[in-house]
Amino acid sequence: MEARERVSNIHDVTDYIIGRFADDPGSLNVLKLQKLLYYVQAWHLAFGAGVLFIGGFQAWVHGPANREIYDRFKTTHTMFSDVNRDHIQPTFRDENLSKGARRHIDEVLEAYGELSGIQLEHMTHDERPWIEARGALRSFERCETVIKESSMERFYRELLEQASEDDTPH
């Protein structure tokens, strides 16, 4: 269990992620950014460190999405529009995030960063937090239900425990 650290600003986390992909044009779009933000938050919760940033995720058709980040890009981008260094806010500096936050984000990006937005979308569609939040809705029906952080924490912690059990010699 890691010690809890200060809560980061979601826009700083967003800008940090954009910066990590900035040298590889076409490697990040809004859809992928949304899913990476989701996994950054989910795994932070799973490791017992609480929320990394304030801001929930709604169970949209294309998977978990944060409304505040959607609103940031909605006038200039679709979910499939590329995001690059030009979209980083001028006030952002890596130092806006703690070393621990940057390390955590880097670990999530190492695990998920090579996947496309569509691949990440499909992954979230197979995971309990998104499924529970959508309830009986069909996959194409609009949904703004917030995915519970407790559901995220429980599901991804269970994945950690399963991985730990799988690594234990029998």
User: Model's pTM, two decimal places?
Assistant: 0.94
- 68-105 tens-digit pLDDT: 999 999 999 999 999 999 999 999 999 999 999 999 99
**HEC sequence for the chain:** CCCCCCCECHHHHHHHHHHHHCCCCCCCEHHHHHHHHHHHHHHHHHCCCCCCECCCCEEECCEEECHHHHHHHCCCCCCCCECCHHHCCCCCCHHHCCHHHHHHHHHHHHHHCCCCHHHHHHHHHCCHHHHHHHCCCCCCCCCCCECCHHHHHHHHHHHHHHHHHHHCCC
Q: Is residue 3 part of a domain?
A: no
Domain count, the chain: 1
Q: Is residue 37 part of a domain?
A: yes
Residue 2 pLDDT grade (very low, low, confident, very high; cuts 50, 70, 90): very low
- 29-70 tens-digit pLDDT: 999 999 999 999 999 999 999 999 999 999 999 999 999 999
Which structural domain, as residue segments, surrounds residue 30?
10-167
- Give the pLDDT score at 65: 98
Q: Is residue 2 part of a domain?
A: no
